Amino acid sequence: MDKHTDPLSREELAQLTTAYLQKPQGDDKRHWRSALRRLVAELKEQLQSTEQGRRSRAYRNSGEDLERTGCILKALLDCAATDLELKVFYYPASKGEERQIKRMDYRLAGQLVLRLSHYGPHFRPFFGGSYTQDDLIFSLDLLQLLLPRYARFCLEGALALGEKKHEKVKEEKIRNVATGSVGVMAQSLLAAKGYAHHLSSEQKSEVLQVRLSERQRAEFRLPYSSFVQKAGHLLPTLDMLENLLRESPFPVGVGYIRQISWGNTQHRELSYHEGDNNPTIQGHQLETFKRLEELFQPNPMSYLRYLPRYTKEQLDQLAGQTLPGLEQSVESRSYRGVPTIAYSQQGECFLRVTEDSIRLRSWYGWRIIMSYDPRSYRFMHSKQQVLPLPPFEWLQEMIPRLANFALERARLPISPLQQDIQHRRHVQQELKRIIPPMMEAAGEKYALELPDSWADYPARLHVYVNTRRAITLHISYTQADGIAERVEQALQLARSTMAKAPMAFQLHYSESDKTIWTEP
């Protein structure tokens, strides 16, 4: 006899906790469903092939299906269900008619553990789930194998669930005891060196963050079961991280990188985000608006109504026209296929025409100068910032005049703010030109981010270490001299520290730290 179908002994029945068989929820329900899937997969391998397997058509409550279900239930009356108490319920029948089975209830130690029903769901275990005729589990061959094993399945599942709960309680006790101990240990070790720290709890460990500088912090995971052994490695590791940050030419990060497009460079040209609040740029915008208003003299009534957007056909027509002295291209298309047309002169893009706006490039970034929406331009016109969108027929004559206007604005004296922006853009371009070929030549797996940001160290170079870790160098837009040598030096220092550190760590850089620190 198969050991799985042997009757349960008195000792085994005594071990059964019927509370685990009463409408489990959450993790308990997932435990039972996972166990049932494993059992069905095992029985399926035994069957190899069966006529009563999964049906190709969807289940319908037809007479044929109900007749088949009734035949299965009737056949199962003779199937031995070891240790299970069976109670059969029948439909009412007239005198002389054969009674049809309505449902079959199986109980273990007085607890309902399984119901086989004429109407769907046909297979109803105590932990829930809807199983119809289309499920592999509701086939005669498989049920004849499953029912003799079902009592032992319940016993083994209950014992495993009890062990899980015992381990969970044990871990909870360890965590409750260790949480205070880790805090005391961290306070005593770090206070002597003047480190501020922050502790947070997880299921099996404490997360310890240590402030190394105003913008850099280290992170350690201290398992409750072994934090005492790791405590001796904490200060030596912090000393090595201090040396790394002191010698590295850039702020360094070490940790997990998710959703990185390796091998790519993401570049967004730097613009000035605080333009509306900067007097220099406000003055430049006002002069630009007045000059454009003089050039194109918009109809005042245009500010009071919606103007038609440009259609896809109109923009496709414009993209096919050649304007003397200007280069034009379709820069992108919307999901509806409407193009954005870009115009360049002297090698630099200065104008973009979209279906609902015209954008002009200035030294502080791209700016909408003409728009179709009065909700936008009525307010912006009051601030003297935007003009209404001109009729499409005017564009071919207006674009060359806008090109001359862009050249005219480019000849104006350069302000200190403009010099700063141009310098940072130049560094952006140098980073884009130097770093990718350098990393590819060294065989590194990398990703370079050059965002439109005025942070102190906005550029990020991610270098792959292994499947779990990566090094991130934070680079500024203020200096590109010797960038290749400095990147190589920082990577060597980071790799050396990772190899020699006696304790696993993560290293984070942030220019806006909101962590609540425990001061020494």
One domain, residues 228 and 319:
no
Below-50 pLDDT ranges, the chain: 1, 50-64, 134, 377-383
Q: Which two tokens stand for residue 248?
A: 């590295």
One domain, residues 234 and 307:
no
The answer as to whether 269 is a domain residue is no
* pLDDT value for 180: 60
* pLDDT value for 414: 73
Q: Using the 3D structure, point to which of 387, 412, 437 is the last residue of a domain.
A: 412
Kindly tell me the burial class for residue 155, based on how many C-beta atoms sit within 10 Å of its own C-beta (0-12, 13-18, 19 or more). Answer: buried
* pLDDT value for 301: 62
* pLDDT value for 378: 46
One domain, residues 226 and 324:
no
* pLDDT value for 359: 87
One domain, residues 408 and 419:
no
* pLDDT value for 376: 54
Residue of 103, 91, 116, 100 whose CA lies nearest to 67: 100
One domain, residues 314 and 401:
yes
- Which residues are within 8 A (CB) of 48 and not within 5 positions of it... i.e. 6 or more apart? none
One domain, residues 128 and 92:
yes
The answer as to whether 95 is a domain residue is yes
Q: Which amino acid is at 78?
A: D
d(CA 372, CA 388): 6
User: Residue written as tokens 């909870």?
Assistant: 172
* pLDDT value for 435: 94
* pLDDT value for 215: 92
Q: Classify strands 365-371 and 387-388 as parallel, antiparallel or unpaired.
A: parallel
Digit-coded pLDDT (tens) for 354-413: 888 888 887 777 778 777 765 554 444 444 567 777 888 888 888 888 888 888 777 777
One domain, residues 75 and 196:
no
One domain, residues 210 and 356:
no
Count of domains in the chain?
A: 3
One domain, residues 364 and 280:
yes
The answer as to whether 509 is a domain residue is yes
Q: Which amino acid is at 436?
A: P
Q: Using the 3D structure, point to which of 353, 377, 412 is the last residue of a domain.
A: 412
* pLDDT value for 306: 66
* pLDDT value for 386: 74
One domain, residues 128 and 240:
no
* pLDDT value for 56: 41
One domain, residues 374 and 385:
yes
Q: Which amino acid is at 513?
A: D
The answer as to whether 115 is a domain residue is yes
The answer as to whether 112 is a domain residue is yes
Any alpha helices (H) in 16-96, and if so which ranges?
Answer: 27-47, 63-76
User: What is the layout of strands, in order, in the sheet containing 365-371?
Assistant: 327-333, 339-345, 348-353, 357-362, 365-371, 387-388
* pLDDT value for 281: 66
* pLDDT value for 54: 45
* pLDDT value for 25: 84
One domain, residues 222 and 350:
no
Q: Using the 3D structure, point to which of 412, 440, 457 is the last residue of a domain.
A: 412
3-state secondary structure of 449: strand
Helical (H) or strand (E) element with 416: helix 416-441
* pLDDT value for 51: 47
Digit-coded pLDDT (tens) for 31-45: 888 888 888 888 888
Residue range(s) defining the domain that contains residue 329: 275-412
The answer as to whether 183 is a domain residue is no
Residue of 374, 478, 461, 460 whose CA lies nearest to 422: 478
3-state secondary structure of 507: strand
The answer as to whether 282 is a domain residue is yes
* pLDDT value for 55: 43
The answer as to whether 459 is a domain residue is yes
